[in-house]
Structure formats: C-alpha cells, structure tokens
Structure 1
Amino acid sequence: MSWFKKIARFSTVIKILSVTVICCLLLAYLAPFVHPNSIRILPFFGLTYPIFICLALVLMIYWAFAKSRWFFYILVAIVCGGSLHFRTLSIHFSDSKPETEVDSWNIMSYNVRLFDVYNSSIEERNKSRDSIVSYIQRVDPDVACFQEFFHQDKPSAFSTRDTLIELMGYKYYHERYSHRIRNRQNFGICMLSKYPIIAKGDVMFENFKTTDNYCIYADIVKGKDTIRFYDIHLQSIKLQQQDYELFGEKNAQAGSKSSTIRLLIDKLRIAYPARAEQAERVVEHMKTSPYPVVVCGDFNDTPMSYVYNQFNSSLVDSFRETSSGIGVTYVGRVPAGRIDYIFHSGDLGAYDFEIQKVAFSDHRAVHCRIYKKQL
C-alpha cells in the first residue's frame, strides 16, 4: 500500500508540474505582444521560455511512456506556440546569394564591453583590446556597429576609434558618447564605414541625458545602393560587480542569494518598459527612412520579447534567414542567450551569418553579408 501511495503522490506532483509548465508556456507566448507596462511580470515568462519549453518536452516524453492523456495536453500547449518556437531555435535549409560578392555589404555588430578597459590587470586589459581589434581586422567589415564602445582622446593607449580607422582604412564614422572631461573618456556607440555617409543623426531616447544607451543612424552609399544603418544599444539592466555575487563561487549564504535575486528582478522590471519605449521610438523613426534599413545592435532582450517583436514585425532577422540553431551571443554570468541582432528590410537579403566562436567580450560579435534583392 505504501508503494501505491508513493506512486500516486509522484503522479500528482508531475501533474501539478505539467499544469504549471503549460501555464508558463502560454504566458511566454503572450510576452512578445504585450507591452511590459501592461503586465509587469509577463516579460519574465518570455525570458524563461527556454526553460519551460525544455521542461515541456521532458514531460511530454514522460507522459508518452506512461501512456497518459497528459501527453496530448503538453503537445497542444507546445503546438499553440506555432512559429514562435522558431524565433529561439532557427531551422534553415537554403541560402540565396547575389550574383557577385561585389554587390554585397559585409556588416558587423559587436558589443565590445569597453574593450575591457576596467580590467585591473593592464596586461589582460591590453590583451582583450588587441584580441578584439584583431578579430575585427579578420572579419574586415564594410560597416561596423559597436556598442559599449570606449574611446579615449589622444594622447592615449586606448584611442580605439582612431586605431581602427588607421588599421582598417575607415574613412567615415558616426558616434554618440557620454563624455567625461577629466580623463578625456568617451562611452557609448560608434559606427565605422568604408563608404561615404551622406546623412546621419540620432534617435533620442527619453532619458538620453542620464543613460549610456543610445541609437544612431547613417545613410551610407556603396555604388548605386544607399542603405540606412541603425546602431542601437537598448536599456541595460545595469548590473554592478556586487550584483553578480549570486553567480560567484564564494556566495554560500541563502539570504545573500535571495536578496541578490530580488535585486536582479527589480533591475529587470525597470529595464523592460524602458527598452520597450526605446524600441518603439526606433521603429517609428525607421518608417521615415527613404532607403532600405539595416538595424544592428545589442537589444538586451531575447527573441521571445516585446522588443524583439517590434523589429521582427517589419524587418527580417538575418540569423533566422540564414542560420540554424539557437545562436547564443551573450556569454556573461547571467544566461540570456541571443540578444545581439542584425535585422534588415524585406527588399534586402542576407547570407553567411556568423557568430564569433571565441568571445573576447561578454558578447559574441555577429556579422553577415547584406545585399539588395533583384526586383
């Protein structure tokens, strides 16, 4: 009898878990379509979607072996997500290219984490900076969009913008910084181009005076084609070093862990609505562009988010157009998956999308080739 009670109790626990997973999946499906200000908790379900979809698959297998109707309940919940699942897991079979490579643009987006300028070891700091610069040289992008870019005015060993211009032969650039006069330091975003910039500007965010998150754009001409490029870095959650204690090896106290979790949740709750508002501003600005659009940047949000959906509604995600897999771009201590993107207008195409294999920042660079489709 005791064995029967244990089995019944275990079955009840699995059923409760199944109901919980189904509900969480359905809420995750809603996250891309509901503004974070409407239901503040909803973005967290979008963020944790990978966990719940994996649990759902495991439970479905369990119920299949148990020959229970709960298998069909889980299956229906998964099917309800439809094409949303392929935002996180891309499956791609064909790859179209222009007739000649001359007709394509080599594009890079890279959050360089200030070139590791705050590393306490000068040797490691310089090694990180030099590794990032060497990687950019190997990719040799026509247009490079950087986030968390650091540049120190000359004379300086960290005149990174001028170094890239000299090494790569970039003749044109556009940037937006918060400037600190004392040490001649600049923090922000930078766009470098081998081809002429005929117009440029900023998309101003509401809190532009108090943030290091920006959006800039430039109209760039190559041959007969003109494309408007946006370089964006959307609202960060602004984690400080002490906020990472939860993920460190020395943090063993449960109280400290729980307080850190609450702090992370509070920071996320603040960041989600700010990112949503910033994304809406960029999308509205895009509608005024007289040219095809390419959007590069660190969105600080996953494919199951309201922010991602704003761009995905009118543009094409280059990774999903050309690649298969999950495509993890963030490699910091807080797992986030794919948060760095290159989007483009429907009249453009993409191929040879790559995610940097060896990370020199807490983000992996993403780059691909963009071309104008023949009408």
Structure 2
Amino acid sequence: MKHHKKRSLIHRFIFTANLVTAAFLVICYLAPYIDPIYFWPIAFFGLAYPFILLLNILFFFFWLIIWRRPAWISLFVIAIGFSIHRNSFGLNMPYNLDHKPDNAIRVMSYNTHYFRPMNKRSNDDSTKHQILELIKEEQPDILCVQEFYSRKRGKFNIKDSILSILDTKYYYVKKIIGDEYESTGLAIFSKYPIEAGKEIPFSSDKTDNTCVYADLNIKGNIVRVFNIHLQSISFQQQDYEYYQKVRDSLSTDRVLTRRIARMLKRAFEKRSIQAKLVSEAVKSSPYPVLLCGDFNDTPVSYAFQTVSKGMNNSFCQKGVGFGKTYGGAFPNFQIDFILYDNSFEAQTYKIIPQKLSDHFPVRSDIILKE
C-alpha cells in the first residue's frame, strides 16, 4: 500500500512537471510574436526553446513507456508548434550538397570574425589563409561578409584577395570603423555587376552592427541583395568565463548573472528596432530581394520573425538536421540565415562545418524564377 502511494506521488510530481514544461513550450511559440521592447523576458524562452522542446520529447517517451494516457500532453504541444520547428530543424531528405544545379546562383553568408581565430583580437595569417581557401573552394556568385576586415595593401588586403579568388571586380564594402590604412565593416562581393549600394544605419554608434544592400544586375534582372548584422550581445572575456563556470559547476554569482541578463535585454531590444528597419527596407525594395546575414538571434525570436515575414528561408526549404551556425562559447544555435522572396527558389542549402570563425559559413544555390 505504501509502495503504491509513493509511486502515485512520484507520478503526480512528474505529471505536474510535464504540464509546466508543456506550458513553457507554448510560451516559446509566442516569443517570435511578442516585441521584447514591451516584454523582454519572453525572449529568453526563445533562447531556451531547444532545451524545452527536448524535455517535452523526453516526457512523451517516458509516459509512452510507463503509462500511455498522459503522453498526449507533450505530443499535442509539440505538434501545434510545427511551423516553429521547421525553422530550427531541417526536415528535408539528404541529397548531394556539393552539386550546383544549372542556372543556380550560389549565395554564401559568412561572419568571418575579422579573419581572426575565435577569442583573439590580433591578426592571424593562418586563419585568414584558411578562410580565403574556403571561399575559393566554394566559389560563391554572391558573398556577404559580416565582420569584414581589410587593409589597403599588403598580405591583409583581404578585399583584393577575395576579388582575385572570385575572379571579379564587383564589390560593395561599407567601412564602419577604421582609417585609410585598415578598416572593418560589411561587404558584398559579386560575380554580377553592382549598379548601386547603400547603408541603412541602425544608429550613430560606431559599431559593425548595420545593414547594407547592393543592386546586382543578374543577366538583365536587377536583384537587391541585403547583408545584415543585427545587434551583438557584446560579451566580454569575463562573461564567457562566467558562462563556462556555470555550465561546468553550476556555480552562480548574482552580480555577474544580473550583468549578463542586462546585456541580453539590451541586445533583444536593440535587435527589435533594427529588425523593423530592415523589414521596412525589404518591403520598399522595387526589386526582387535576397537577404543574408548574422541575426545574432535564433529562429524562435522576434527579430527573425520580423525580418523573415513574407520571405522564404533556404534552411526550411532545403536544410537537413539541426541548424547550428554559431560555434562560439554561448549556446550553439542557428543565427545566420539566407532568405529570399518569391522571385527565387532554393535548390540546395549547406552549413559548412569549418570552425575558423565563431560562425560557420552558410551557402545556398538559388534559382531566379522566369
């Protein structure tokens, strides 16, 4: 009798935990639609989405094995979020990723971390060389680079190196920080003629977080290509060290926890404003739109939902498996995207598993419809 009562209490506890976890997953589904400027804590649920989804999957299988009736709770909650799951998990069949279809435009987006190794601020010839070799191997027709770095001359004249590698003369580089000797910013390289380029600044601050576009003449059709870099969290070394400490030993510090929460809140709110600016620029484009960039936010976020509204996501159309494009110390999620309007159709999508930057490059072969 006592054993039966004890087991009943354990089941009740697990059932209650399942209900709470299911409710959290529903809140995750709301995160892309609630502006963090008005209620910023909702954005944390977007970040936690993969872990909360995993818990619900575990609960489902637990009840399926132990007692079938409650299994429907997590199954139902998982099922109603199908459109959310599609943005994070590529549900397509595997195929030949390296074959470029005829008439396809190979688009590549890459946050290169200034062509330096992760967690380093100094120039590194080896990393720069490996990134350039990767670009040479992929041969994108359109290359969008975030955290672009180049010098005017010498072995770190990366602009001229990329032009030579791609055998083109067409580029648009927006210098954000720097001087006549060296600078950083955003860049668009193209094998097609560029007729115009412009920046859509996010603020007056000196930061590489901005948006640029270039109008490309692709076989007589003008296409507007956006390259965006939304607000970074701007973690410092102490923040990464603290995150590592919490992950390894579950040891927390109130002051540092509040500091990180403030930084995340600030980034959520700034990305909200920036995403609206990008969305308006995309809507006002007189030409078909391709949009690439580092969103610094996941598919389950207000920033992604705002920018991608009315657009197609190449990962959803052709991606396979879990989309992880960030390889830094913070949780590894998909934060780099290639989007396009209905004038295009994706044929391939690939996350290139080369850990040279804190981001993995992504590329997609896209056809411009007749």
* TM-superposed deviation, 1:373: 1.6
Deviations 1:201-229 (A, max 9, x none): 11121x23332201100110121222110
User: Where does residue 300 of structure 1 map in the other structure?
Assistant: 296
Determine the structure 2 residue equivalent to 1:186.
183
Structure 1 contact 202–216 (Cα < 8 Å) conserved = yes
Structure 1 residue 260 displacement after superposition: 3.8
The letter for the 2-side match of 1:21 is T
Shift of 1:179: 2.7
Contact 1:36 1:306 in 2 (8 A): yes
CA offsets 1:104-160 (integer angstroms, 9 cap, x no match): 2111100001111787697x9221111101000001111110001112233x43221
**Match of 2:204, SS?**
coil
Residue 90 of structure 2 corresponds to residue 86 of structure 1: no
The 2-side partners of 1:287 and 1:121 are apart by: 37
Q: Structure 1 length as normaliser, TM-score?
A: 0.90
SS of the aligned residue for 1:370 comes to strand
The verdict on how the C-alpha distance between 1:237 and 1:170 changes in structure 2, with shifts beyond 3 A counting, is same
Check whether the contact 1:330–1:364 (CA below 8 A) recurs between aligned residues: yes
SS in 2 for 1:346: coil
- Answer yes or no: is the 8 Å Cα contact 1:245–1:251 preserved in 2: no
Q: Please, which of 345, 352, 357 is the counterpart of residue 348 of structure 2?
A: 352
Q: Deviations over 1:194-252 (max 9, x none)?
A: 221111111121x2333220110011012122211000000000011111113447997
Q: Does 73-82 or 294-303 show the bigger shift?
A: 73-82
Pair 354,26 (structure 1): closer, same or farther in 2 beyond 3 Å: same
Aligned partners of 2:19 and 2:104: how far apart in 1? Answer: 49
Amino acid at match of 1:131: Q
| Secondary structure at the counterpart of residue 91 of structure 2 | coil
Output the CA distance in 2 between the equivalents of 1:352 and 1:254: 41
Q: Distance in 2 between matches of 1:185 and 1:9?
A: 66
Q: Matches of 1:117 and 1:59 in 2, distance apart?
A: 40
Aligned to 1:172: 170
Letter in 1 for 2:160: D
Query: For the residues of structure 1 that align with 2:247 and 2:302, how far apart are their CA atoms?
Result: 33
RMSD of aligned Cα (Å): 2.5
| Cα distance change, pair 238–121 in 1 and its aligned pair in 2 (3 A) | closer
Gaps of 5+ in 1: none
AA matched with 2:272:
A
The answer to whether 1:262 aligns with 2:261 is no
For 2:35 and 2:114, locate their aligned partners in 1 and report how far apart those are by CA, in whole Å: 31
What residue number does 2:306 align with? 310
Q: CA deviation at 1:289?
A: 1.4
C-alpha distance after superposition, 1:142-200 (max 9, x if no partner): 1110001112233x43221122123322312112223334x933122111112211111
Distance in 2, matches of 1:90 and 1:118, equals 27
Q: 1:237 aligns with which of 215, 233, 239?
A: 233
Secondary structure class of the residue paired with 2:173: strand
Query: Which residue in the other structure is 2:29 paired with?
Result: 29
